[in-house]
Amino acid sequence: MAIFNWSSSRRKFLARGGLFSALAGLSGRRLFAMPGAAKTPARKNIYERLGVRTRINAKVTYTFLTGSLLPPEVARAMEEAAQHYVWLLELQQAVGGKIAQMLGVDAAMVTSGAAGAIMLGTAACVAGKDLERIQRLPDITGMKSEVIIQKSHRNPFDHASRNVGVRLVVVETAEEMENAISEKTAMMYFLNDAQSRGQVGLEKFIEVGKRHGVPTFNDAAADVPPSSHLSDYNKMGFDLVAFSGGKGLRGPQCAGLLLGRKDLIEAALLNNNPHEDSIGRPCKVGKEEIVGMFVALERYLKVDHDAEWKDWEARLGVIEKAVTSVPGVRTSRFVPEIANHVPHLSLQWDETAFQLTKVECARQLEDGEPSIVCLVEDYTQGLSLTPFMMKPGEERIVGRRLKEIFTTARRKAAG
């Protein structure tokens, strides 16, 4: 079936959106056709009421799959925040100040996700605190109009920077980068998870920016754990760093962090909601998300990350044990170096002997009950999964389902 185009690249976001809505449509119907409903129906959860199927996330933090789940203390804080009026600017300032203190960075603000941080960071570098300029964006006549980026760092999220009206100047070598800098250069844009793909690494990039007085920006959206990353890049010398709030940090899905130089954060705030005539007005972050982001970060800095890592390893062990009980199924483990740097399990089997491709296996996982979404296209290791975003105990369900799928395929293939 054409919609199960699992081999599409990770960056084909539009196609992916289509895939997921198609899947949701298919399986949503099945949910209501389920026989044997209880005589006194239990209260339907909100997704049942909406006819939207819930999934087990054996994948990573993935915005299309709603990122992460809120820890109870974050959900409680958001609920509490929702019950009072405050001046939004006062809340932004207070939370930004506390976050900066917690992380040991100059200044901080809560944005509408890492993408919002990319746009506001760019706006800060282009319009600064100049009210006339702020109101005129994305018309950048007379302002610095270019953002320098390495070819291998181009990514769909650089659209957020282009929203400001700037032109991306694409370079490959350090020499090209130096030559591209002029009085038109507003910002230099680095994509953290592309650091090993680009010819100019972190240190050199920062050094070039500093020498020319051009602000450097690092998009580190999905780059926790480890938690030290939350301040590493600022300490290294980046002027601005962005993180997603709703990925590994497990804050509200529509929140994020912009961390960096005080003057730039002040400028970003002026380009942001609630200022009405500003490019950031559509990037509203409400009191609930601002408070949620703060509490999520507080929690994240307290989490025992070693214990959490061991727990992920143990849960992978549960899945490993279930699947390797089927003769012919092998597993191996790996940890992506940057972004979603957590233990993963890769599954291998003879696809011909089992008459089961990786794509078909993933489809059966997703179509089954409960629906499980794993990784099939992101890594060369084959079909893989991680318990990073699973609820406790879901590893047993995933192990059981995989075992069923492999056992059935094997039996069928044997005739």
Ligand X SMILES: *Cc1c(COP(=O)(O)O)cnc(C)c1O
In 34-71, where does DSSP find H-type helix? 46-50
Give the nearer residue to ligand X in terms of CB position, either 114 or 240.
Answer: 114
Structure tokens at 234: 């600022």
Give the nearer residue to ligand X in terms of CB position, either 283 or 405.
Answer: 283
User: 118: closest CA among 153, 72, 80?
Assistant: 153
Residue 365: CB partners within 8 Å, gap ≥ 6?
Answer: 58, 371, 372, 373, 374, 398, 401, 402, 405
Give the nearer residue to ligand X in terms of CB position, either 218 or 364.
Answer: 218
Phi and psi for 167 in degrees, rounded to 5?
A: -105, 135
Q: In the complex, what is the shortest distance from the CB of residue 352 to ligand X, in angstroms, rounded to a whole number?
A: 35
How far apart are the C-alpha atoms of 68 and 219, rounded to whole Å?
A: 19
Q: In the complex, what is the shortest distance from the CB of residue 156 to ligand X, in angstroms, rounded to a whole number?
A: 8
Give the nearer residue to ligand X in terms of CB position, either 115 or 269.
Answer: 115
Q: In the complex, what is the shortest distance from the CB of residue 114 to ligand X, in angstroms, rounded to a whole number?
A: 3
Q: Are 243 and 221 in contact (CB under 8 A)?
A: yes
Helix (H) or strand (E) holding 170: strand 167-171
Residue with tokens 């020319």: 212
Give the nearer residue to ligand X in terms of CB position, either 96 or 246.
Answer: 246
- C-alpha separations of 27 from 20, 31, 53, 102 in Å: 11, 7, 7, 44
- Tell me the three-class secondary structure of 233-284, residue by residue: HHHHCCCEEEEECCCCCCCCCCCEEEEECHHHHHHHHHCECCCCCCCECCCC
Cis peptide before 370 (omega within 30 of 0): yes
Q: In the complex, what is the shortest distance from the CB of residue 243 to ligand X, in angstroms, rounded to a whole number?
A: 8
Give the nearer residue to ligand X in terms of CB position, either 62 or 406.
Answer: 62
Q: In the complex, what is the shortest distance from the CB of residue 135 to ligand X, in angstroms, rounded to a whole number?
A: 25
Q: In the complex, what is the shortest distance from the CB of residue 246 to ligand X, in angstroms, rounded to a whole number?
A: 6
Give the nearer residue to ligand X in terms of CB position, either 221 or 409.
Answer: 221
Q: In the complex, what is the shortest distance from the CB of residue 26 to ligand X, in angstroms, rounded to a whole number?
A: 26
Q: In the complex, what is the shortest distance from the CB of residue 193 to ligand X, in angstroms, rounded to a whole number?
A: 6
Give the nearer residue to ligand X in terms of CB position, either 297 or 356.
Answer: 297
How far apart are the C-alpha atoms of 215 and 106, rounded to whole Å?
A: 14
- C-alpha separations of 349 from 141, 312, 364, 368, 414 in Å: 59, 23, 16, 20, 15
Q: In the complex, what is the shortest distance from the CB of residue 74 to ligand X, in angstroms, rounded to a whole number?
A: 15
Give the nearer residue to ligand X in terms of CB position, either 221 or 402.
Answer: 221
Q: In the complex, what is the shortest distance from the CB of residue 258 to ligand X, in angstroms, rounded to a whole number?
A: 11
- C-alpha separations of 87 from 21, 199, 274, 316, 394 in Å: 38, 46, 10, 46, 41
User: 358: closest CA among 381, 341, 339, 340?
Assistant: 381
Give the nearer residue to ligand X in terms of CB position, either 78 or 365.
Answer: 78
Strands 146-150 and 185-191: parallel
Give the nearer residue to ligand X in terms of CB position, either 117 or 319.
Answer: 117
Q: In the complex, what is the shortest distance from the CB of residue 242 to ligand X, in angstroms, rounded to a whole number?
A: 7
Q: Can you give the binding site for ligand X, defined by CB under 6 A?
A: 63, 113-115, 157, 193, 219, 221-222, 244, 246, 256
Q: In this structure, what DSSP letter does residue 64 have?
A: G
